[in-house]
Amino acid sequence: MASVTYKKVTKKFGDFTALNELDIEIQDKEFLVLVGPSGCGKTTALRCLAGLEEVTAGEVLIGDQVVNDIAPKDRDIAMVFQSYALYPHMTVFDNMAFGLKLRRVPKDQIKTRVEEAAKTLGIEHLLKRRPRELSGGQRQRVAVGRAIVREPKVFLFDEPLSNLDAKLRVQTRAEISRLHQRLQTTFIYVTHDQTEAMTMASRIAVMNKGLLQQLDTPQKLYDEPANLFVAGFIGSPAMNFFTARIKKDGQNLFVDTDDFAVKIPDHKLKVYEPLAGKEVIFGIRPEDIHNPEFAPPGIHAAPVEAKVDVTELMGNEIFLYMISGKNNFVARVDPRTRFKIEEKRQLFFNMDNFHIFDVSADAENPPAVR
């Protein structure tokens, strides 16, 4: 059990910068998820911590100890790989016991620890089998079991669920969360799947192109994304974006996209007043766009006209793909909605939840203004 700290960690592969001055502080017993698109550096960050890659600059700390020059075997961490990486020539028992044997743990103790771990994971009947005789889910459990018998300071998971089918993934997700609760150890978990990140993490670090974009709790990340990348990455279907201009009209502020203009509620005027006249990106999540018939009461609704392009019935909700002039957007509306394709309809934008990104501050990845 220990905290983990990345201090301005940079990792370069030749000319390619995989990690760019990464700063993360991970508390003891925390479940931190590193999430981002492929190639964003999340796995590299994990491998630098494990000691499988050497950092180019900066420091990695486990507890108070700088581990830059400590061999992987002496870092006291365990890692579960995407491919599970079991030892194919050993039985499940030997796979799990191997790390303990190398550490000269007494035999009877190895036996009890392996059996206990196997019981927790429900694989005690598989102990005599070899990895090739196991299904994907069982292999995954063995990989987790191999990690937990060692009782390491830090657990690392590198996309451990991506080789499982959808149903098993949901189930295993819950099991890993439970495991974290029970073990009370630091977990660092890498995934490209935002659902995994949202459901399991105590905090999420969103990364892109080797840069940390935001480090926050899942709810905070969802409600208040720090920039356009995070806003677009978290949430499914993704947030709708419109290039727009903030217009001042007497006392009121409007977000004007050329195709439609929506009024910013009075209590937010102060925040956005300085942006008046500037070009911005306006973002709103699909679930904050309502069918006027079923819109919840008491919201600051802004009406927008748009043409229905496609409707997708999900059962509990309907996804509407709308076209308004040159803008496309998705609305996630009440399942009782009966819109026809090519129909022009009015929708309500819930102006209590919207995001403005200031293009003038950073054209590539504009930060949110709030």
Partner 1 sequence: MKPFARLNKFLSKLPVNLVLIALILLWLVPTLGLFITSFRPREDVRTTGWWTIFREQQVVGQVEYETYCASCHGMDGAAIPQANLADPELMNAYARSNRLLVMLKQPLEDDSPHMVDPLLPENVNESLAILSPVHEYIGALSGEETKGSRLTLRNYADALVGYKGTQDYLTDCQEGVESTLVKFKCNISDLLNPEGMGSAFINTLIVAVPSTLLPIFFAAFAAYAFAWMDFKGRQWLFALLVGLQIIPLQMTLVPIARLYADLGLESTFVGIWLFHTGFGLPYAIYLMRNFLGGLPREVFESIYLDGANHWTAFWKLAIPLSMPAIASLGIFQFLWVWNDFLVAKIFLSSKPVLTVQITNLIDPRGANWHILTGAAFLSFIVPMIVFFAFQRYFVRGLLAGSVKG
Where on the chain is the footprint of partner 1 (CB under 8 A)?
A: 50-52, 71-73, 75, 77-79, 81-89, 98-99, 102-103, 146, 150
Name the residue nearer to partner 1 (CB basis): 99 or 283.
99
Tokens at 153, concatenated:
């300071």
Name the residue nearer to partner 1 (CB basis): 143 or 230.
143
Please state the closest distance from residue 186 (CB atom) to partner 1, in A. 15
List CB contacts of 270: < 8 A, sequence separation 6 or more. none
What's 123-173 look like in SS3? CHHHCCCCHHHCCHHHHHHHHHHHHHHCCCCEEEEECCCCCCCHHHHHHHH
Name the residue nearer to partner 1 (CB basis): 74 or 364.
74
Name the residue nearer to partner 1 (CB basis): 132 or 267.
132
What is the C-alpha separation between 247 and 279, in angstroms, rounded?
10
Name the residue nearer to partner 1 (CB basis): 14 or 88.
88
Neighbours of 20 (CB within 10 A): 16
Name the residue nearer to partner 1 (CB basis): 118 or 330.
118
User: Environment class of residue 326 by beta-carbon count within 10 Å: exposed (0-12), middle (13-18) or buried (19+)?
Assistant: exposed
Partners of residue 328 on adjacent β-strands: 323
Please state the closest distance from residue 359 (CB atom) to partner 1, in A. 42
Please state the closest distance from residue 105 (CB atom) to partner 1, in A. 11
Please state the closest distance from residue 47 (CB atom) to partner 1, in A. 8
Please state the closest distance from residue 64 (CB atom) to partner 1, in A. 21
Q: Are 36 and 18 in contact (CB under 8 A)?
A: no
Please state the closest distance from residue 99 (CB atom) to partner 1, in A. 4
The helices-and-strands tally (H runs, E runs) of the chain is: 9, 21
